[in-house]
Amino acid sequence: MGASAYRAGEKLHSIAHASYQSGEKLCGIGDKVTHDYTRKGGVTHSEIILPENAPPEYANRQTLWNAVEKSEKRKDAQLAREFIVGLQREFKLREQIEVLHEYIKENFVNKGMIADFAIHDNKDGNPHAHIMLTTRHVTPEGFGKKNTDWNKKDLFSEWRKGWADVNNRMFERLGREERIDHRSYREQGIDREPMVHLGYEAAALERQGVQTERGNHNREVQRRNLNRLAEGVASEVRNQKFELAHTHAANAEREAQKETQPLKVEKTKQNTEELRQIAKEVKLEKELQKIRDAQKTARHMEKPIEPEAESPFVSELERQLKAEKAMQHLEKMQEQRNNAEQIAKRMTALKESFIALEKEKTSLMESHNQIKLDLPPLEYRTELVEEHAQNIENLQSRAAQLHESRQNLRLFDVKKKKETDAQIAQAEQELARAQDFFKNHFHINPSQARDELKRLQEEFRTKQKEQREKSGIIQAIRDKQNSLELAYHTQKLLNETRPDHEQITRLLEQTHHPPEPIREKLLREQIEHRLNTIGDYEFQKVIDNLNPYQAHILTAIREQAKKHERLIEQEKEHSRTIDRGR
């Protein structure tokens, strides 16, 4: 609890934190941002406790924390103080609420703080409560000056002790023997190493069989503690044996000196045997109690392990059974982890193959589109070259005909000769202009027109063929992508029927990629979104390729998920209706 006492809310974040803590939809008046955590599960109870002189409207969470933010002017102002306290699993929910009420009123509310607390319990063996506290004095008109005395670290030990006292009083009222102590092991005089808090993420990984750094540290500490306990027990047993043997020897010596009759000797032997039996039972009971305490300590760990040093009173058969059971458990965990890793690797390979095909398809599409853009200008140029070349040929043919007509005229047809000469001059001028235009526009001589036409027509046919080939390749890539997408969706849906689906999802999320350019990174994100989104059409395609049993299971899971989504939507609509009514 003390480690999290100073995790205070920052400016413009108290509304968001209160929304997350309580699992409610709250709107910040200052920034007009709505924080909606209504889908957050595990919030079993939330409540605000006010001092006597606080405005009654502060019982509304949104009003309270907006007023807190409004009372601060600095951007780095401390808006709230938060405690996270672990709740006893031995208590029922109403008893946990009673403990929190008693603790909060005694330590915070009676000093003038407003407390907003929420109980979180995801049924994972870690029930806890978040307590947010205001930092300013509260008056009937609102918040006043900030009380810096509440930040003194001397109060932490008092608050920790108060938490232990309240829980122990509840244990006493329930008639239970359990007690908690806020002091450290060293302060209590206990020769035991403390373990570190796993945290939510590490605890979730450990439950899935994934070892973490903190989990390994705690297991090593637990092993040393159990070994130390076993050594202490063995030492105590040896001392008891030595003392018992010494006592028996002295008693036997005294009894031997007093022996006068065989009956007396027999009685002494009988008494000695009874003493030995009683001593054996006493030390065995003590040893078994020590082992029970060690096992109880181990059960509080997420992944308990067997101690290396066993008690001398644990039979060889029991050790073998425990070792065999532990080995089977480890083998099962390793097999599940290997299966999860294989599935994650297979799905990652499918995704990477899909991405590689998408990159190839994108490159081909760019080339295909470029060809598509090149073909019309190429076709147009071919038509122009052919048209102008034909025009030049026509002009050359007309000029040749005029020259031939001029030569066939008779000597005395002077007037006819003049008209023909004018026509020849005009035809030659038109031919010269056509040839100049051809050279300037196409950058070749008119005599090269036929060769240029052949080249253009060949280039056009080549590009058309290349376009058809690329279209075929693109279609083949699309078909392959559809097959990969179906395989990925099938495996993703089948994962929902596996007990280790959360571990597979986590392994997929932990896959690291080398640094990529922005364009490729965006492409990867788009493809991951596409592969991880399974609509009704994609779902039906998967169902059509599964056996009836698998199809029935997946259909039931999907219908249940849709039903849950509808309920959430109805709750949100109900909340919106209430908000509009307010």
Please state, rounded to an integer, the average pLDDT across all residues of the chain: 77
**Token pair listed for 13:** 């974040």
Quick one: pLDDT band at residue 288, thresholds 50, 70, 90?
A: low
Q: Is 74 left (phi over 0), alpha (psi -120 to 50) or beta?
A: beta
What pTM was estimated for this model as a whole?
0.40
Residue 55 burial by CB count (10 A; 0-12/13-18/19+): exposed, middle or buried?
A: middle
In the chain, what percentage of residues exceed pLDDT 70? Answer: 70
List Cα–Cα distances, 410 to 64, 384, 407, 416, 417, in angstroms.
120, 42, 8, 9, 9
Q: Between 437 and 305, whose confidence is greater?
A: 437
Residue 337 pLDDT: 62
pLDDT in tens, 38-82: 556 678 888 999 998 888 888 888 888 888 888 887 877 788 888
Going by C-alpha positions, the residue among 173, 157, 143 that lies closest to residue 53 is 143
Quick one: pLDDT band at residue 313, thresholds 50, 70, 90?
A: very low
Please state, in angstroms and rounded to a whole number, the distance separating the CA atoms of residues 472 and 475.
5
pLDDT in tens, 191-231: 667 777 666 677 777 777 778 888 788 888 777 776 666 66
Q: How many CB atoms lie within 10 A of CB 479?
A: 10
pLDDT average, residue stretch 513-541 = 85
Range from 151-165, 211-225, 278-292, 481-495 carrying the lowest mean pLDDT: 278-292
Please state, in angstroms and rounded to a whole number, the distance separating the CA atoms of residues 404 and 406.
5
Whether residue 80 contacts residue 132, with contact meaning beta carbons closer than 8 Å, is answered with yes
Task: Select the highest-mean-pLDDT range: 111-115, 302-306, 329-333, 409-413.
Answer: 111-115
Q: Which residues face 139 on adjacent strands?
A: 142
List Cα–Cα distances, 239 to 5, 246, 249, 283, in angstroms.
46, 11, 15, 11
Range from 126-135, 228-237, 488-497 carrying the lowest mean pLDDT: 228-237
DSSP 84: E
**Token pair listed for 523:** 């492409």
